[in-house]
Structure 1
Amino acid sequence: MTTALWYAEFAAAEARGVSPAYERLADAVSRDDELIALLDGLPEAKRQPNLLFGVVRWLGGPVGDPAEFRAYALANWATIAAAMRTRATQTNEAGRCAVLLPVLAALPQPLALLEVGASAGLGLYPDRYAYRYGDQVVGSGEPLLECAATGLTPPTALPEVVWRAGLDLNPLDVTEPADVAWLDALIWPEHQHRRDRLRAAAAVAAADPPLLVRGDLVDDLPALAAQAPPGATLVVFHTSVLYQVPQPRRDAFVALVRDLPGHWVGLETPDVLGLPALPPPPAPGLHNVLTLDGTPLAYARGHGQELSWFALTP
């Protein structure tokens, strides 16, 4: 896929109906030969729209108007490119726990959670948040995660988590203002509710920090998984992570995680895991697929706001 097409598809499939500002920016970038040429000077994995727009927001640049964005990007490209080379999209969206909860609550309890690509580890607290699925509320913590769920009966209880750990090439620390600022910059401009959710989830993590290990999802996963306490069900999971991993390493990870004890839960786009024929998604736009041990269960929107179950059972 060319960089121009990448931005055009981001505008049409991911940002449309979700972020008008990013839809406008991505569409404008896709048709701007000068900006595309600059982006093509970066490694392929560093050209992604979320990274470019997040870096500009983090640097204090404008993202509301395409003309202002273009002028800023051209005038400050050296600084922007340097940040894009060193930064990564580490969107730590606690809302995705609402999509994971039906699977986690149905597994043998208690759980030992190990998140690959954990960022600051905010996805490791599904037992501490509260959830609303339509009229049903589960739990009483903060933040309250709202999810429009169809095709299943939502869980009535939270999972029991006795161990939580994360693996990331560059783990973030929610007690460090600079790390929280980067997480904030990755949230799309109009999404104040996600910004509020970030602050509430960060407070949960800061009060009881998880074990976060700097390491590779293949080389360092077995040793970390071996630290899970006996008697707990190990759950290795990841959300919107593997698309950043080169295919050979991705294949090695899948082979490795299938051989670990416990269960493997994924939330990725269908192409990332090479899933077999799936039912059509419930609506236009980009949908992730929730999987358990490689078996597809449901479609979900990227920030956990919708879950459409199509499997027969959790």
Structure 2
Amino acid sequence: MTIVESYVEFGTREARGVSPAYERLSLAVARDAELLALVDTLPPGKRQPNLLFGVVRLLGGPVHDPAAFHDFTLANWPAIEAELRARAVQTNEPGRCAVLLPVLATLPQPLALIEVGASAGLCLYPDRYAYRYGGHRLGPGDPVLDCALTGTAPPERRPEVVWRAGLDLNPLDVTDPADVAWLDALIWPEHEHRRDRLRAAAAVAAADPPLLARGDLVDDLPALAARAPAGATLVVFHTSVLYQVPAPRRAAFAEVVRGLPGHWIANEAPDVLPHDALPEPPGDAHHNVLALDGTPLAWTRGHGQEMTWFA
């Protein structure tokens, strides 16, 4: 996919109907020869729209007005480039727990969780958050995660988690204001409810920090999995992570995770982690496929706001 195509794709399939500012900005960048030339100087893994937009927001730049974004980016490119090369997209959206819960609740309890690409580990607390599937409320607590669920009944319980750990090349610390500022910058501009959710989830994690290991998803996963307590069901999971991993490493990761005891929950785009004979997705927006041990179960939206069960 060319740089132009990636920005058009992001605007029309991911941001449309979700973030008018990012839809407008993505399509403007796709037509902006000066900005495209700058983005083209970056390594391929650093050209994503959400990374560029997040860095500009982090540095105090405008994202609602494409012309102002253009001027700010050109004027501040050395600082922006340095941040782009140093950072990665680490969207730590706790709302994704709402699409993981219908699977986690069905597995033999208690659970030992490992999230690959964990960022600050906010998705490692599916037992601590509250949920709302339409009119069905599950659990007390804050934040409350809303999900439009179709095709299956809402889960009746939250999982019992006795151990939680995350693996990331650059783990973030929810007690570090600079790391929380980066997580905030990655939230799309209109999404104040997600900012509120981030603060509430960060408070949950800070009160009982998870084990966050710095490491590679292939080389270091087996050793981390070996630390899970006996008597708990090991669950390795990840959401919107593998697109940042080269295809050969994705295949190596799949081989490693299939060789571990326990279960594997993947929530990735179908072109990143392919499956045979998928049904048509529910609309033109970007959807991930939720799969358990390689078997696809449902279409999901990127922030956990919607889930269409088809298994």
TM-score interval (norm. to shorter): over 0.9
Equivalent position of 1:182 in the other structure: 182
CA distance in structure 1 between the partners assigned to 2:148 and 2:215 by the alignment: 35
For residue 299 of structure 1, give the secondary structure of its aligned residue in structure 2.
Answer: strand
SS at match of 2:53: helix
SS at match of 2:118: coil
Matches of 2:83 and 2:271 in 1, distance apart?
Answer: 28
Question: Percent identity over the alignment?
Answer: 75
Deviation per residue, 1:143-176 (Å, 9 max, x gap): 0000000000111111000000000000000000
Alpha-carbon offset, residue 283 of structure 1: 1.6
Q: Kindly provide the amino acid, as one letter, of the partner of residue 79 in structure 1.
A: A
Pair 1:37-2:37 in alignment: yes
**Correspondence 1:1-314 to 2 at 5 A:** 1-311=1-311
- In structure 2, the gaps of 5 or more residues are none
- Structure 1 ranges of 4+ moved more than 6 A: none
C-alpha offsets along residues 57-96 of structure 1, whole Å, 9 cap, x if unaligned?
0000011100000000011111111100010000000000
Q: Distance in 2 between matches of 1:281 and 1:140?
A: 32
Shift of 1:131: 0.2
User: What's the secondary structure of 2:18's corresponding residue?
Assistant: coil
Q: Distance in 2 between matches of 1:95 and 1:274?
A: 24
2: CA distance between counterparts of 1:35 and 1:195? 28
CA deviations over 1:259-295 (Å, ceiling 9, x no partner): 1000000110001112112101112210011000011
**What is the CA–CA distance in structure 1 between the aligned matches of 2:62 and 2:252, rounded to whole Å?**
40
- Distance in 2 between the 1:151 and 1:24 partners? 33
Q: TM-score, normalised by structure 1?
A: 0.98
* SS in structure 2 of the partner of residue 236 of structure 1: strand
Structure-1 separation of matches of 2:155 and 2:15? 30
Q: Which amino acid aligns with 2:39?
A: L
Amino acid at match of 1:34: E
Q: Aligned with 2:189: secondary structure?
A: coil
Alpha-carbon distance between aligned partners in 2 of 1:135 and 1:23, rounded to the nearest angstrom: 31
Count of aligned positions: 311
CA deviations over 1:227-274 (Å, ceiling 9, x no partner):
000000000000100000011111100000001000000110001112
Q: Secondary structure at the match of 2:72?
A: helix
Of the structure 1 ranges 274-283 and 200-209, higher mean CA displacement relative to structure 2 is found in 274-283
Structure 1 distance, partners of 2:104, 2:59, is 38
Unaligned runs of 5+ in 1: none
- What is the Cα deviation at residue 34 of structure 1? 1.2
Amino acid at match of 1:214: R
3-state SS of 1:106 partner: coil
CA separation in 1, counterparts of 2:181 and 2:52? 16
SS of aligned partner of 1:54: helix
1:266 and 1:71 map into 2 onto residues whose CA distance is 40
Hey, what's the Cα distance between the residues in 2 that align with 1:96 and 1:300?
9
State the 1:303 CA deviation: 0.3
Equivalent-residue separation in structure 1 for 2:248 and 2:9 (angstroms): 25
CA distance in 1, matches of 2:143, 2:232: 26
Deviation (angstroms), 1:213: 0.4
Q: CA–CA distance in 2 between the matches of 1:41 and 1:198?
A: 33
CA RMSD of aligned residues (A): 0.5
Q: Deviations over 1:98-142 (max 9, x none)?
A: 000000000000000000000000000000000000111111111
Give the distance between the partners of 2:27 and 2:71, measured in 1 at CA: 16
Partner SS for 2:29? helix
Aligned partners of 1:272 and 1:262: how far apart in 2? 23
